[in-house]
Amino acid sequence: MVTTLCLVRHGETEGSDIPRYKGSLDVPLSPLGHEQVRHTAGRLRDALAAMISARRRSYLRAVHEEEGAATPEAGQGLDVVYCSPLIRAVASAEYIAAPHGLTPVVEPDLRERHFGVWEGLSFAEIKRDFPDVFTAWAADPVRFAPPGGENTLEVARRGRTALEAILARHPGQNVAVVAHGGINRVILCHLLGVPLENIFRLEQDLACFNLIEIWDQLPVVKLLNAH
């Protein structure tokens, strides 16, 4: 049985002219963000259909199917769309769901990392106002949390738990998860077996999508950070 995961990041948000830690702040999509995700919805629909059409020729069938058995063919569209509760993710998920006639399902644990006292601040402001804290974070970004915020281990734990619950509810289906840069990266690290120390080696651009086939619990990345 093959389950398909489509992992999507939300589009650009208002006030993105200056890079800031927005974290759990509820910031809406910018006009450009709406256009980005509308474009992504079409590209994802087409890429998903092409991937599923090609699956019947995949060598992974020989690896994972018993001789004479046949894996049920999935449809070429999404079966369900989950998203973070933050409005930038909900609005993005509505675009992703629309071509498939779906309504997004909100999953609270897909929310972006809480950055505590850093939320809403630019990188320059953090370096200026919290120099010692910033140095501590730079030295250990996995275990260190800004005051009042979460560390990467905590985010990874809830992101992984949310993903596993979603996949368990939809075996053999095509599932979309629309979330954030931080959540997407910890999910990809989990699926790929990448140490969290290397989390920033995985880029997740605004409105990007990733396609992952999961064959008998074995994740196979088919497309990464696509537009």
Tell me the pLDDT tens digit for each residue of 209-226. Answer: 999 999 988 999 999 999
Tell me the pLDDT tens digit for each residue of 130-173. Answer: 999 989 988 998 999 999 999 999 999 999 999 999 999 999 99
Query: 38-47, 77-86, 125-134, 158-167: lowest mean pLDDT where?
Result: 125-134
Give the Cα separation of 49 and 78 in Å (integer).
9
Predicted confidence at residue 19, as pLDDT, reads: 85
- What is the pTM (predicted TM-score) of this model? 0.93
Q: Residue 84: pLDDT above 90?
A: yes
pLDDT tier, 70 (very low <50, low <70, confident <90, very high otherwise): low
Q: Residue 68: pLDDT above 90?
A: no
CA distances from 204 to 7, 36, 132, 168, 210 (A): 10, 14, 28, 25, 9
Counts for the chain of helices (H) and strands (E), in that order: 7, 6
Predicted confidence at residue 75, as pLDDT, reads: 83
Give the Cα separation of 55 and 52 in Å (integer).
5
Give the Cα separation of 190 and 155 in Å (integer).
12
Q: May I ask the CATH class of domain 2-226?
A: alpha beta
Of 86, 43, 2, whose CA–CA distance to 227 is shortest? 43
